[in-house]
Amino acid sequence: MDIALLALRVVIGLTFVAHAAPKLFSVWGGGGIQGTADAFDQIGLRPSKVHAWLAALSELGGGLLIALGLVTPVGAAALISVMTAAVLTVHRRFGFFATNNGYEYNLVLAVAAFAVAGIGPGDWSLDNALGIDLSGTGWAFGALGAGVLGGLGAALSGRLMPARGADRGQPDAA
């Protein structure tokens, strides 16, 4: 069981770290924070640079916490938040299947993070080595609630801000 949890945590966690890297470091075809901010502005996540930093750091930090098995529900909440915002701002309108740019993949990653928060990171984790026991149904639902609220907050707050340049009489970027 512990080897399975380790594999699940490492794959999920490092997948998010890999998604954060282009946003933060302009690697693997990513545009760094500015490129991410430009893309976020186009989909209505404003202020786009703030959202770019929050998304990238949530993916990086949450991914590392899950991979290491350290304060696992905190990492799960961060990842669920990013996936919720991604579904609401990009993928929902395309339906379920990832082959059509739908939310299937986002849902699988969010549910996996929720499950790890509930099951716990296992014996091969920093939580276990440090004597941290933050797992179970309550922690899983806490991570889910915090993540969904964070993602909803990001999507809704972004809609309330004007597009870049709109407040200075410049053309709308969207």
* pLDDT for residue 168: 44
* pLDDT for residue 158: 74
Q: Are 86 and 106 in contact (CB under 8 A)?
A: yes
Provide the token pair at 51: 């959202």
Q: How many CA atoms lie within 13 A of 19 on its CB side?
A: 22
* pLDDT for residue 155: 93
What is the band of 172 on the pLDDT scale with cuts at 50, 70, 90? very low
Q: What is the DSSP string of 35-83?
A: HHHHHHHHTT-SSHHHHHHHHHHHHHHHHHHHHHTSSHHHHHHHHHHHH
Write the single-letter amino acid at 21: A
Lowest mean pLDDT among 44-48, 127-131, 145-149: 44-48
Residue 41: burial class (beta carbons within 10 Å; 0-12, 13-18, 19+): buried
Is the pTM above the cut of 0.85?
Answer: yes
CA distance 86 to 102: 10
